[in-house]
Each structure stands twice: as structure tokens, then as C-alpha cells.
Structure 1
Amino acid sequence: MKRTALSVMTLLTATLTATAVAQQPKNVFTVVRSSQWGAQNLNPFAPGDQHLPPTNSAIYESLFYVNPLDGKATPVLGTKYNWSKDNKTLTITTRDGVKWNDGKPFSAGDAAFTFNYLKQFPALDTSGIWKNGLTSVKATGSNTLTFAFDKPNTPIFQYLAGQMIVPEHVWSAIKDPVTETNTKPVATGPFTFDSYSQQALRVLKNPNYWMKGQPYVDAVVWYATNGNDAALLKLLKGEADYGYVGVSDPEGQYAKKGENLSYYWPVTGDNYLYFNTAKAPFNDPAFRRAISQAINTKNVAEKAYAGVADAAHSSGVIPAQQQQWLPASAKNLEVKFDAVAADTALTKAGYKKNAQGRRLGKDGKVLPSFKILVGAGWTDFITMAQVIGEDLKKVGVNTQIDQQAWSSYAGGLQTGTYDMGISWGWGGGPNPYYLYNQTFAPEYSAPVGKTAASNLSRYTNPAVTKALTAFKGTSDTAQQKKLMGTVITTVMQDMPWLPLTDRFNFSLYNTAKFTGMPTKQNPYTAGEADDVAAARLMYLNVKPKQ
């Protein structure tokens, strides 16, 4: 038996069943976590920080996996889907020949039950599926599932696709699913739950899994550690095969330390400098665009992330989606760093300089020193703010860094009491609609002093709002691209934010024992964490080295 399997067996002896001990799994894929977990809870409806990691990554399954990089939908319990001509009915074909791990057959009825269960217990509906036009979900055959809407809302598909499906014959008897711990899960996934302790968790290969020949490993084990350093050490020593672990320099701190060490850090979002457009002079698009031009985002990325991250595209659209979604006209709207041009643009827009080189407002008064809001102690954001401050000072705009603890940091962004603030995108998904909708749609904004859900800049534009609404009403890809082109170019012209740097998922691998993980060359997932639906695909595809 391999050393990894032996160490796992030592950790888990106290909790393994006699059957499991007899099985002695030969190929054990090991996951290390830089955190602990709580009680034995395998309720797929519970928030991710409350249930155990294997719940929604190895045990339960959804209808599809939608890759957030390119929007590709990989069939799982669903095999195909189709929107009606008026985009108010979605029909999904569910997979034949699937059994729950207690031997009972899976059907579209189980999926219909799951979605109606969310309606019965609204606390479970964390994606707000039933608040966004859904009127009914019915099984219209053993493998046909029909969703009806009172108005078109095609972007809701990714939330329907990702909902974990539960067996009606089990959950119909559970009267309080919010507090249910579900210690003996009945599911359709590639693994079944085996054992639990505060140090390690194990799942075993489902011998009756519907995907013949997979998974290729006999077991997956999770180790808990007390932080990134401990998790990283296990990977470096070959005591773990995979970990979702963030390090500041994955090349120098990890990949270069061994021939079997590699990482997959796909860009899934950006960091932004948000402008509070409810406050002068940030309510002026010409001012916003000029100071954006004064900021060297390439230098921001280099200083904040030691060359690991690139400067973000000035549209905010991630690299994997740019070819498909960026209109040709966006190229002429890109903000390119040019301090001299920015200085000229500010003066032309009515913001002159005084004899001391300080920038004046349109009223002739010296502009105040603007605060840049960041999280307290967040070294990457603080570094970004320092570089931004140095750049803006060169064009006569003074700034100061405003470090705030999380509650006041998030509160300041959401209530609109800040000047400028650095944060990640409060929205995102398999195409730019999700980012732009959550960031700039009126329903996500609020008056200053009230809490805005995610429109932190409080920017709205009738052209953007109209295009976003029309996007929801169509499933035609060509029409969606045209509408998104309007959104992208309008936002790039008005610059309610400045995209600063790329953001990543943080998958680290030790490939000494296994192959088949998602990579830049084979991005079948976006490198999401080990406890979410995307990880299921990795656990299915990893193979022991011969």
C-alpha cells in the first residue's frame, strides 16, 4: 500500500467501518485544506461553511456544471436543455439509468421535488430561484423536467443547473431541512461517505456509479490543517495531491521547488478601483476617465502581486471571455496609461491646476484629498492604493489610504460613504452579463446611506439597463452578444470603475502519484475549491500514475 493510504488509515482507524477496513483502498487521492471543519453535517442545502467538504463535491450531484470561464455546460444529472420560443419555459432532459446509492432509481421527479422543496422552505433558496420569475417546476415524464416562468430570465439557468438534487423518498420525510445534519447521505455522486474525524474525512468509490469506469480512484481523503503554511508543507512533502491554497508567488514559492509541483490559477475575476459616482467630482465621467488614464495598472499588478497577476482589461471582462464577448468597438475605448494625456484631459474637462500644481474643481476650489478605502491589513489592496496615490499625485490629485475593518469597509462601499474604494467584482459568472448586471443594474443600487447589494459605484445608465433587461429575455447567442456589446462599450466610456488586476482561483498540485487535474491546457473546470461542484469533475478525472 502507498504511504499516503497508510497515513490516512492511521488517522481514520477509530472511525472506519469493518467493511471499509476490509476494502483497503489502493488509490487514495488526498486533498489538504488550510482550515478546519465543524460537526458531521452532510446536508447539501446547508451553507458551504457548515457542511463537510465532500457533500457538494463528491457525494451529491447537480443537473449540469457550468464552467465560469467560458459558460460551457457539462451534463451531469441533466443531459440537455432547451428554452421555448418565448423563453418562458425551460425543458431539461434528465439522465436515464441513474440510481441513488441506496439502490432506488433516480428520476426527473426527484429533481422536481428538490426545486419545489426550495419553495416550501425559502431559507434553502439561497440563489433566489423562486424570487426571479419561476412559477412552477414539474416532472412531465420520468426523464423530463419543466420549469415555467412568468417572464423571461434566461441567465437563471446557471443557478438551476448548479442546484444539488436530493432523493424525494428520503427528504420528503425530513420536516426541518434547515437544521438536518444528514449524517448518512443518500445521493447519486461518484463517491459515498465513509468516515469522519476532526483531522480527516474519507469518501469511497461508488461501485454502482452511473458513469462506467469512473472514478479512477478508490477513495478521496481530506486533511485539515491550521493554515496555509501547514497545507503547503503537506503538498511540498508529497503528503497531499491537491490543495486550494493561496500563496503570493506560486511559481517561486511552490512550482520551482520540485518537478512534480504545479499550479492552476485561472483568472475568474478582477480587482477594481470603484468610484463613488454619487459624489462630485466622481459623478463626472470625464473626470473618472481622465484619472483612470493617470493610473498605471500594469505597475499596480506588478507591485501588488509580484508579477503573478496581470493588469485587468479595462472592460472588466476576464481573459477567457474576451474573444467571445468583447465587441470590436471596445478596442478604441480601452484606457491606456498616459500621465501627460490624463493631465491634459483633466484640464480640458474643467479641472485646472493652481500655481502649486494642485487640481481644482470646476468651482475653482482645490480638490480635497480623496480617501481610497481598503480592508485593514490587506497588503495587496494597500499596495495598490499606494501606487494609485503616487500616480494621481503626479496629475495634481491627492489621496490618502483609508484602512477599515471588514464591517466598516464593506459597509462604506455598500452605503456609498467612500470616495474611491478597492474591491473585487461583486458579481460574476459564465459570461459578462452576471458581472455587469450585479454591478450596474438599478435593483442592486440604493440611495446614499442605504445599503446597495452590489452596485457599489451607484452607477446606472438607461442604455445599460435596457440592454441588461433585453439580455434576460433572449436565449439567442447572437442577440446576447449584441446586447452585451452595448453594455460593455457604454461602461467603458463612462468608467464608473477602473479594473486594476486579475484575480484567480488557487489550485496547487503534487502530480507525483496522479494525473488528470484541470490545467491551463485542459481547463475543464475553473480551478474552483475542493468543496464545490466543480471539484467533482476533478475527482472523476484524476488517474493514478502507472
Structure 2
Amino acid sequence: MLDTRHSRESVLRAGTVGGAAALAATFGGLDVGTAGAQAAIPDVPRNRTLQIIGGGGGGRFTDAGIGNPYAAGATHQIGNAALWEGLFYYSAFGDEMIPWLATGYSYSEDFSSLTVNIRSGAKWGDGTPFTAKDVEFTFNLLMTNLKLSYGADMQKYLKSVAASDDLTVNFAFTTPNPRFLFEYLAFKFDNGVKLLPKHIFEGQDPTEFLWFDVAKGWPCGTGPYKIVLWSETQKFMDRRDDWWGKDVDFGGWSAAGNLPDVQRIVFVPYSDDNRLAQLMASNDGDLGFTLLPQIIKPLIEQNKQLISHSFNRPPYGYIDWWPNSLWVNTELEPWNDPEIRWALSYALDRQQVIEVGYEGAGIPTEIPYPAYPALLPFFGSIKDLLQKYPTNKFDLGEVDKRMKAKGYAKDAAGFWAKGGKRIVIDILGFSIWATSGPILAEQLRKAGFESAYSQPPDWTAQAISGKFGGAWLFGHGASIADPYYTLYLYSSVNSKPQGNTSGGGGNQWSRWSNKEFDKVIETMNNVPMGDPRLLDLFHDAMAIWLKELPTIPVWQFYHWIPMNTLRWTNWPTVLNSYVNGAYWHTTFPLMLHKIKPVS
């Protein structure tokens, strides 16, 4: 519940959204940075305002006043992605690389260096030209500061970064690195290095400088939006009509002479799923955070203005880059035995979980990869391995065979035990698995494993501690166009926590390592994306991975996002999949350039 005295609907249902007096009357006191700009907030018609329900928690934003994308607590997931632009964007759905702040690039023949060409005429929000020197400054800052996101990576991979002129920047690598541009210079999902204005950040402590002052126009990215009001309970972002890109032809994304049709973005903090559903049902929200199928299905049936990525049909969404697995600590008994891990896999009826827990809105996954166009050839290349190692097969007979072979027998209560000690599998997770986790636990119980599902607030700390002997649900945020990234999560260098989560859990939580697997990944690292040799290397790596089964694939993860067609159209859908529809990803600006007002 929101703790403001007046309901937010008094603003959401207004004919216009804006105006200092209306805001002050509705929301009460504002922080200093916001209050300084109240008088400058104009009125914007409701049908040119995009109202998004999401971000934060408990009705409050957690990042208010943190404009510096590298400061502690900063996030691009609550609108700030509209401020930053990438040198490139990548749309996984279209398998398309889109030059933006850059116009092109070239690698050296041995991939030991990379030259990027910067687009002429790009500007920061304060009118200062954006140049190669800003790129040089940002990456050198990251290289010398391990406290910053990407700092460790830049120190590991970069020998030097230098701007030879305003429109050319050169990256020299410590070792050949054919994937550097895709991984760090292209915005996609949650990834991509956010560039900083040298003329503002030079001389500042990047860990302390918050870069927020609405009166000064801070933060001022190169994107077409600026923050005009920001507190714990409200966030308004207005279009900058002087955006540099309006004079540039970005092909089908934005024609020369065009600005985004969204004049104002209003963020309403997430409270709970029911509140989100209510605001979408009453047409107060235009775009929402992902909902479970049990909520979005009746919501769309009730309000015909609402659609999902697949309109009013299952699966009511699209596959995210985060395929889910059941994880265990492979250093602890009995999970250090691949045969026991395989017994767990055979105990799971994934299709039943999808039918009951997600009302049929989903599909199982055989491997920890999202089913995206660029990855499908790799799926096909290991069909022979999946026949030998059927990760999606439900077979209680196989469970019994493997457990008995390892000396286990069922006790009087029907649970597997050895030496008087039962295997106990407490499964941890959070709200997105509230309808699926309990089903998994029940399936394990029927297979002879004592199991229960819970959502303690410290579950991630337990999982990563190295001491938790149960299991947990989590995803893989890694590969979307090239198989290397997910495989790299399982290399030995990532087998222990190193102060980060390596792509959303990565291998640091399973603590698995295999030297033969490492050799294949090391070879793959030197083979560029798109090279046919990757098919054979992927097959070699997965032959080891599938035999060992360090994590247990369960299902593809979906975003079930409600979108309202009352005021806005051209949403990303199954018939128009130009990009994923998550406002919390770095590709959010691409959607802003595409959606159109109904009238």
C-alpha cells in the first residue's frame, strides 16, 4: 500500500499529468532537488503520457536521487534507461545489432584491438558534444576502480583505451577478445556499459558523486528524456525536444525529424501484484511489471484494452533471457555426485509444473539457454546428447535405480536415507516461484525426497553461503546470441563467489568446476561470434556439462507484461517482436521510439 495521504489515482485519472500545484496537492512535500524545479513542470495531455506501474517495492522507489549509474543503489530499471544511450543496441528477438551513439567498428585481424567510430553530432542533455573522449574517460575510470560495476572486467580485459580524435576510440585488449563489443558496448537486457560525461565527472569521486539536481538538469544523459520530479513515491520524466537524435535517421527505429511520441513518463512504484492489476484494469496504467499467468489471464479477459506479448492467448508473454534451473551446491554431499543430481532431474515433471503452476503458460527447457533465434542452431547441434542425457525426462524408475545404486533405501516414511540419515531438500526462492516451487517440492516428496518450499528474506545469502545443503530456484542471465557466455558462467574461475553474482547467480552458487570443460571454454573464447567452429565447441562443452549436470534445467522464464492499448499502440508483440517489452531493461528506449498514441 502507498503511504501517501491522497490516492495516486487522483493524478492518474486527471486529464493532464503535471503542474507544480497539482503535484504538491496530491503528493505533499517534495525533496529539495525536486522542489527546486516544481514551477518548471508543464502540463502534458494524458494521451501523451506513458504511465508505468513498477519499480521499487512496498510503494516506494529505492533509488530516488541517485543519478550516477555507478553509485551504490543506482539502477536503470526504474526509468533511467531512458536517459542512457548505448554505442549500440541489440535486439535478441530480431537478432539485430543497431548502431546508435556509434556508427561502426572494426576489430584487428587477431582480435587484440577494436576501433569504434562515434556518431557526429551526438550531445549530452546539457548541450555538450558527446565524443570519443567521453568513452575513453568512462572506460579508464572503470579500469582503475574495482568498486564500480564492470571495473573488474575492464581491469582484466583492457590494456588501454584511447581516443585518437573526437570520433574515434581505440580499445587494446590484454588477450584477444572477439566478444568485447557485444558484451560491453551493446545495450541489451540488463547489460551494457553506461557512458559518463567527462566534463561533469572529471575530478569527482565516482562512488560518492550522486549527480542529481533537477534544477541543473542532472542527470543529463544523451537520451531523449530528463527527470523533472523524483522522490521515493513519484517519478516524472519529460521528453527533451532538443534531443540530438531527432535529426538522425536511425532506420526503422527513428526517422530523421522525429521525436518519441511519449512526452512524459510517469512511474508509480510497485506495491504488490493486486495493486498493479487494479491500476491496469482501471486503465490508469499503460504498462506494468510482469505478473503471474494466474493474474494476467483474467486481467486481459476482464479489460479488452489490455494485451500481453501474445495478446489474449497463452503463454501471455515472451521468453526472457533468464531460463530457470534448480540449483544445488555441488561441493556438498550428496550433491557432489552427478548421479544424485540426475536422480533429482528425473524426479521432476516439468510439464505438470507448467500446467498447474503457470496454467500452461510456458515451456520446459532442456538446457540453460533462452530459446532465441540466434541460439536455436546450437540447440539443434546437441540433439544427440539430449537423447543420451534427457534432462526433461520424468521417470521415477530412473530415480529409484540411481538412488539404490548409491546405497540409499526408503525408510518407513518412504524417504530416501542412508545410514539412518535422510536426504532433505528445502527449496528456496521468492515470489515469482510462489506457484511453482511448492509443486516441485511435492514432486520430490513423491519421488522419495523429503522436501518443502519456502521464501525466506535471506534466501540468496543462504544459497551463496556455500553452507546451504538444500536447493533453490534461480535463472541464468547470460547468453542471448552466442553460447559462450552461459558456458563461461560454469568455468572454474567462476566457481566461487568473488563479490558479484556472475550474471544472475552464475556458477558461483553451484560451485562446480571441471578442468576439461575449462579447456573447451578457453578455446571458445578466442573464436568470434558467428564462426561455425562454435557449433563443435559447444557440442564438446555440453557433452561434459550434461553428463555432470551441475544445475538442473526446469523451464524457460517468461515475462507476462500487461500493456494497455487504450492510449498507446505498436507495443512489442508476437506479431511485431521488434524488442522485448521490459521497461526495466536497457533497451527500453527502443520501445519508446516505437510506440504510438492511439489518437
Matches within 5 A, 1:362-377: 365=419, 368-375=422-429
C-alpha separation in 1, matches of 2:378 and 2:441: 33
- Which of the numbers 244, 254, 257 marks the counterpart of 1:209? 244
Q: Does 1:187 align with 2:234?
A: no
Q: Does 1:423 align with 2:473?
A: yes
Matches within 5 A, 1:354-433: 365=419, 368-375=422-429, 379-380=434-435, 382-393=437-448, 398-401=449-452, 403=454, 405-407=456-458, 409-430=459-480, 431-433=482-484
Shift of 1:222: 1.9
Q: Does 1:443 align with 2:493?
A: yes
Shift of 1:423: 1.7
State the Cα deviation string for residues 68-96 of structure 1 (Å, max 9, x = none): 56764322212323332222212222212
Residue matched to 2:68 = 43
State the Cα deviation string for residues 230-272 of structure 1 (Å, max 9, x = none): 2322221112211224334254232212221012332222222
Contact 1:463-1:486 at 8 Å conserved across structures: no
Q: Secondary structure at the match of 1:221?
A: strand
Residue matched to 1:53 = 78
- Which of the numbers 336, 342, 357 marks the counterpart of 2:398? 342
C-alpha separation in 2, matches of 1:417 and 1:178: 34
- Partner amino acid, structure 1, of 2:222: T
Residue matched to 1:294 = 347
Q: Secondary structure at the match of 1:102?
A: coil
- Partner amino acid, structure 2, of 1:267: I
State the Cα deviation string for residues 278-309 of structure 1 (Å, max 9, x = none): 34443333343244223211112333333323
Contact 1:352-1:359 at 8 Å conserved across structures: no
Q: Secondary structure at the match of 1:249?
A: helix
State the Cα deviation string for residues 106-136 of structure 1 (Å, max 9, x = none): 2212211222222344433346332322121
Matches within 5 A, 1:516-531: 516-528=570-582, 530-531=583-584
Contact 2:16-2:44 at 8 Å conserved across structures: no
Q: Does 1:199 align with 2:234?
A: yes
C-alpha separation in 2, matches of 1:374 and 1:368: 19
- Compare 235-244 and 372-381 and name the one that shifted more: 372-381
- Which of the numbers 52, 56, 63 marks the counterpart of 1:31? 52
C-alpha separation in 1, matches of 2:42 and 2:396: 71
- Which of the numbers 210, 226, 231 marks the counterpart of 2:276? 231
Task: Quickly say closer, same or farther: Cα 1:400–1:11, change in 2 above 3 A.
Answer: same
CA-based RMSD of the aligned residues comes to 3.4
Contact 2:343-2:403 at 8 Å conserved across structures: no
Shift of 1:357: 10
Identity of aligned residues (%): 22
C-alpha separation in 2, matches of 1:349 and 1:133: 46
Q: Does 1:151 align with 2:175?
A: yes
C-alpha separation in 2, matches of 1:121 and 1:88: 23
C-alpha separation in 1, matches of 2:593 and 2:434: 37
Shift of 1:163: 1.5
Residue matched to 1:12 = 23
Contact 1:293-1:342 at 8 Å conserved across structures: yes
Shift of 1:414: 2.5
Query: Where in structure 2 are there 5+ consecutive unaligned residues?
Result: 1-11, 26-34, 187-191, 247-255, 310-316
- Compare 99-108 and 369-378 and name the one that shifted more: 369-378
C-alpha separation in 2, matches of 1:129 and 1:354: 48
State the Cα deviation string for residues 128-164 of structure 1 (Å, max 9, x = none): 3323221211112332221111113344432233222
Residue matched to 1:254 = 299
Q: Secondary structure at the match of 1:132?
A: helix
Residue matched to 2:9 = none
- Which of the numbers 119, 124, 140 marks the counterpart of 1:100? 124
Q: Secondary structure at the match of 2:471?
A: strand
- Compare 514-523 and 144-153 and name the one that shifted more: 514-523
- Which of the numbers 249, 263, 269 marks the counterpart of 1:218? 263
Task: Quickly say closer, same or farther: Cα 1:402–1:357, change in 2 above 3 A.
Answer: closer
Residue matched to 2:597 = 544
Residue matched to 2:4 = none
Q: Does 1:128 align with 2:152?
A: yes
Shift of 1:23: 7.3
C-alpha separation in 1, matches of 2:304 and 2:429: 37
C-alpha separation in 2, matches of 1:248 and 1:382: 15
- Which of the numbers 113, 127, 138 marks the counterpart of 1:89? 113
Contact 2:94-2:579 at 8 Å conserved across structures: no
Task: Quickly say closer, same or farther: Cα 1:357–1:346, change in 2 above 3 A.
Answer: farther
C-alpha separation in 2, matches of 1:232 and 1:340: 40
Q: Does 1:463 align with 2:474?
A: no
State the Cα deviation string for residues 373-409 of structure 1 (Å, max 9, x = none): 314886345414323323422xxxx3232747343x3
Task: Quickly say closer, same or farther: Cα 1:287–1:95, change in 2 above 3 A.
Answer: same
- Compare 22-31 and 327-336 and name the one that shifted more: 22-31
Query: Where in structure 1 are there 5+ consecutive unaligned residues?
Result: none
Residue matched to 1:21 = 42
Contact 1:216-1:544 at 8 Å conserved across structures: yes
Shift of 1:48: 5.6
Task: Quickly say closer, same or farther: Cα 1:234–1:155, change in 2 above 3 A.
Answer: same
Contact 1:381-1:422 at 8 Å conserved across structures: no
C-alpha separation in 2, matches of 1:518 and 1:144: 34
Q: Secondary structure at the match of 2:587?
A: helix
Matches within 5 A, 1:318-333: 318-320=370-372, 322-326=375-379, 327=381, 328-332=383-387, 333=389
C-alpha separation in 2, matches of 1:258 and 1:296: 34
Contact 2:47-2:567 at 8 Å conserved across structures: no
Task: Quickly say closer, same or farther: Cα 1:140–1:320, change in 2 above 3 A.
Answer: same
C-alpha separation in 2, matches of 1:13 and 1:330: 63
Q: Does 1:533 align with 2:586?
A: yes
TM-score by length of 1: 0.85
Q: Does 1:308 align with 2:332?
A: no
- Compare 94-103 and 351-360 and name the one that shifted more: 351-360
Q: Secondary structure at the match of 2:142?
A: helix
- Which of the numbers 84, 101, 105 marks the counterpart of 1:77? 101
Contact 2:162-2:169 at 8 Å conserved across structures: yes
Contact 1:372-1:421 at 8 Å conserved across structures: yes
Q: Secondary structure at the match of 1:192?
A: strand
Q: Secondary structure at the match of 2:237?
A: strand
Q: Secondary structure at the match of 2:367?
A: coil
Q: Secondary structure at the match of 2:440?
A: helix
